[in-house]
Structure 1
Amino acid sequence: MRLLSTKLLAGTIAGSLLVAAAAAQADRSEWPDNFTVGTASQGGTYFVYGSGWANLVANELGISGGGEVTGGPNQNLALVHTGDLALGLTTMGPAAEALAGNSPLAPGVAMDNVCALFPMYETPFSITALADSGITSISEIPDGARIGFGPSASTSDTYFPAILEELGVDFDRRNGGWTDLGGQLQDGLLDVIAFAAGIPIPAVSQLEVQTDVNIIEFTEEEQAQVLEAFPVAPFQIPASTYETLEEDARAVSMWNFAIAGCDLPESFVYEVTKVTMENNDRMQEVHRSAVTSVPENIDKNTVLPFHPGAVRWYEENGYEVPEERKLN
C-alpha cells in the first residue's frame, strides 16, 4: 500500500511538472522570435545602456535580441508605436508629446501603442564652455552664440533650445554627435555645448583631459523658471562627476524609461521586467547610471501607461501602480 501511495505521489508530481512545463511553453508560443531595443547614436549612454540591457534579457530568456542605433527618444517612440521595434528607450518629455500627437516626427499622430516598462535614470541638462571663453553663467552667453544641441530631434535638441530661449538667450543653433560637437568646441567652432545626456558625458570628460572647461550651472531663479515651464525635475550634478567641478552644480533633469509596444504578449513583458528588476547589480555592470533603475522609481512615470506585464510584476512584488498609469 505504501509503495502504491509513493507511486501515486510521484505520478502526481510528474504530472504537475508536465502541466507547468506545458503552460510555460504555451505562454511562449506568442512570444516574438527575437527583439530589438531602440537606443540612440553610438558612444552615447542610450546605446551602451540599451545594448547591454538587450544582451542581459536575451541571455536570461534564451531569445535573440540586441540594441539598434536610432535617432534617440523621438524615433524610438515612433518605431515602438508602429511595431517596427519591440522595445526602446525614451525620456518623459518626448513621451508626453508623442502621446498627445505632438511628436516632431509624426505631427497629429497620437502614439498610443507605447507602454512604460521600468525607470532608467535621470538625464541632466548641463552646459559646457571653454574656460578661456569667459562664460561662467547662462546670463553671460553672448547674443548669437554658436551652441551645439546634440543630434537633431534628440531630447537635448528638442528641449534645450526652448529652455535657453525661456531664459532669454539668443543663439545660433547647431547639431551633431556629442563627440563631434566637443571637437568643434575645442577648435573654436562653437561657443557652448548644451548637453542633455546621462552623466558623466564622455565628451565632457574628454574635453577636461585636453583643455580647461567651465561647467555652467543654473541659478536658483533660472532653475525655478525652467521647472515652471517644462516637464523637468530639479537636479544636482555631483562634484565627483567631473574633475572641473569643485562642488555640486545645480541643473534640471528629465527621467528616462524603457518602453514596449502595448500589444506585446503580457507573459513576455512580465519576464523582461522580472529579469531587469531582479538583476540591478548586473544592470549597473552595463552602465553605472542603472543604480536608479529600480522599482521604487516607477512613480517618476507621470505620462505613459505601464504595460500589463510590467504591472503584474510590480504588483506581485508589493509595488503599487496608480490606476491612471494602467492600460485601459
Structure 2
Amino acid sequence: MKLATFLATTAALSVAVAGAAVAQDREGWPESFTVGTASQGGTYFAYGSGWANLVAEELGISGGGEVTGGPMQNMALVHTGDAQFGMTTMGPAAESINGTNPIAPGLQMTNACAMFPMYQTPFSVTALSSSGIESVADIPDGARIGFGPAGSTSDTYFPRMMEELGVNFDRRNGGWSDLGSQLQDGLLDVIAFAAGVPVPAVSQLEVQTDVNIIEFTEEEQAAIMEAFPVSQFDIAADTYTTLEADARSVSMWNFAIANCDLPASFVYAVVDTVMSDNERMVNIHRAARTTVPENWDKNTVMMWHPGAAQWFEENAGADIADDMIHSSM
C-alpha cells in the first residue's frame, strides 16, 4: 500500500511538473497567428496555408494562411508584426534587408528572421500550344506577358530576365489563377511563372487545354545565372503531364520567415512541427520534398530567429554563426 501510494504520488508530481513546463514553454505565445502567402493559384498559397493549418492543429492555436502580394509584401508584414509568419525568396529578402523593397523604400526590414527552408522557385514560361510559341526566341515582339502579382518574386525578377534575353513585351500583373484564365481566353500570350512546382495554375491549365512549358536554352540559362542571384535547376519530367523530358530552368531558394520578436519556444515548436515529418509536408505540396533539415544552409541572407537556430543546431547539426542569429540586445 505504501509503495502504491508513493508511486501514485510520484506520478502525480511528474504530471504536475510536466504541466508546469508546458505552461512555461508557452509563455508569451500569441493566441493566433497568420502566415503571409501570395495569390491563390500559386504555390505559396497552397504550401503556406497547408503548413499554417498543420501548425494550428498540432499546437492547438488558431492560425491560417493569408492572401498577400508575395515575398516582398511578406517581408514587410512580418517585419512590422502585422503577420507573425510569412514566406520569401532570397532575392526579395536581400533587397528588403538592404532597404530597397519597393513597398517601403529606405526601410531596412531587419525584424524578419529566417525560420526554415522551403523549396527552390524555378522560373518557367508557359504558353498555349495553339500560339506556336515553343521557345523564348519564339515570343513575339510586344507579347502580353503575365508576371504574377505586383511585387512578387516573379514580377521582380522575370521582367529583367526577359529583357536580358532580348524579349520586348507588354507587362501584365495579376494572381496566378486569373492569369491562367486570361491565357486560356487569349488575353495573354505567355505567363512567366516563378513558383514552386508543380504550379497549381499550370496543372489546371493542362487539364483544360494544350500548353507548352518552355525551357531555357543552355545559352539563355547561362546568361540569366550570370546576371541574377539564381542557380541551375531542372524541372523534372514527371512534374507536369505536358513534359516529356526534364526542362532546363533556373531557381531561387525560398524560406519561411518569422517576426524576430516572437518567443523562441513558439518558433522552435513551429519549426519542429514542420520539419519533423516531411511526408506530411509533401502531402500538402510536392515542392516540400526539399523542406528538409539539411537545407538549413541555403539561407545566406537573413538573420536566424533564435528559436529556429536552436532547432537546427539540436536536430540537424547546423553550425550557425552567432552573428547570424538575431538578438534583441
- The CA deviation at 1:199 is 1.5
Aligned ranges 1:1-328 → 2 under 5 Å: 14-15=12-13, 17-323=15-321, 325-328=324-327
Q: Which amino acid aligns with 1:67?
A: G
Change (3 A) 1:138 1:43: closer
- Quick one: distance in 2 between partners of 1:152 and 1:19? 51
| Root mean square deviation, CA, Å | 2.0
- The CA deviation at 1:143 is 2.0
Give SS of 2:92's match. helix
* 8 Å contact kept, 2:117–2:291: yes
Q: Which amino acid aligns with 1:327?
A: H
Change (3 A) 1:6 1:252: same
* 8 Å contact kept, 2:198–2:287: no
- Quick one: distance in 1 between partners of 2:41 and 2:227? 31
Structure 1 range deviating more: 184-193 or 52-61: 184-193
Give SS of 1:88's match. strand
- Quick one: distance in 1 between partners of 2:226 and 2:39? 30
Deviations 1:219-243 (A, max 9, x none): 1111111112111121101111222
Q: Which amino acid aligns with 2:278?
A: N
Change (3 A) 1:26 1:209: closer
Q: Which amino acid aligns with 1:242?
A: Y
- Quick one: distance in 1 between partners of 2:166 and 2:66? 37
- The CA deviation at 1:99 is 0.8
Structure 1 range deviating more: 106-115 or 201-210: 201-210
Residue ranges of structure 2 left out of the alignment (5+ in a row)? none
Give SS of 1:30's match. coil
- Quick one: distance in 2 between partners of 1:327 and 1:185? 44
Structure 1 range deviating more: 70-79 or 280-289: 280-289
Structure 1 range deviating more: 52-61 or 99-108: 52-61
* 8 Å contact kept, 1:81–1:111: yes
Residue ranges of structure 1 left out of the alignment (5+ in a row)? none
Change (3 A) 1:33 1:142: same
- Quick one: distance in 1 between partners of 2:316 and 2:229? 28
* 8 Å contact kept, 1:311–1:321: no
- The CA deviation at 1:6 is 8.0
- Quick one: distance in 2 between partners of 1:68 and 1:134? 37
- Quick one: distance in 2 between partners of 1:256 and 1:214? 26
Count of paired positions: 326
Deviations 1:11-65 (A, max 9, x none): 5665455334323212212111111111112232212211121111111111111
Give SS of 1:199's match. coil
* 8 Å contact kept, 1:295–1:319: no
Change (3 A) 1:186 1:23: closer
Structure 1 range deviating more: 85-94 or 183-192: 183-192
Q: Which amino acid aligns with 1:148?
A: G
Q: Which amino acid aligns with 1:160?
A: F
**Normalised by the size of structure 1, how large is the TM-score?**
0.93
Identity of aligned residues (%): 69
* 8 Å contact kept, 1:128–1:193: yes
* 8 Å contact kept, 1:280–1:294: yes
- Quick one: distance in 2 between partners of 1:207 and 1:64? 34
**Normalised by the size of structure 2, how large is the TM-score?**
0.92
* 8 Å contact kept, 1:74–1:94: yes
* 8 Å contact kept, 1:302–1:325: no
Give SS of 2:108's match. coil
Structure 1 range deviating more: 197-206 or 258-267: 197-206
- Quick one: distance in 2 between partners of 1:318 and 1:242? 32
- Quick one: distance in 1 between partners of 2:202 and 2:163? 23
Deviations 1:123-182 (A, max 9, x none): 111011222323222122222111111111111111100111111211110111222222
* 8 Å contact kept, 1:178–1:203: yes
- Quick one: distance in 2 between partners of 1:99 and 1:76? 13
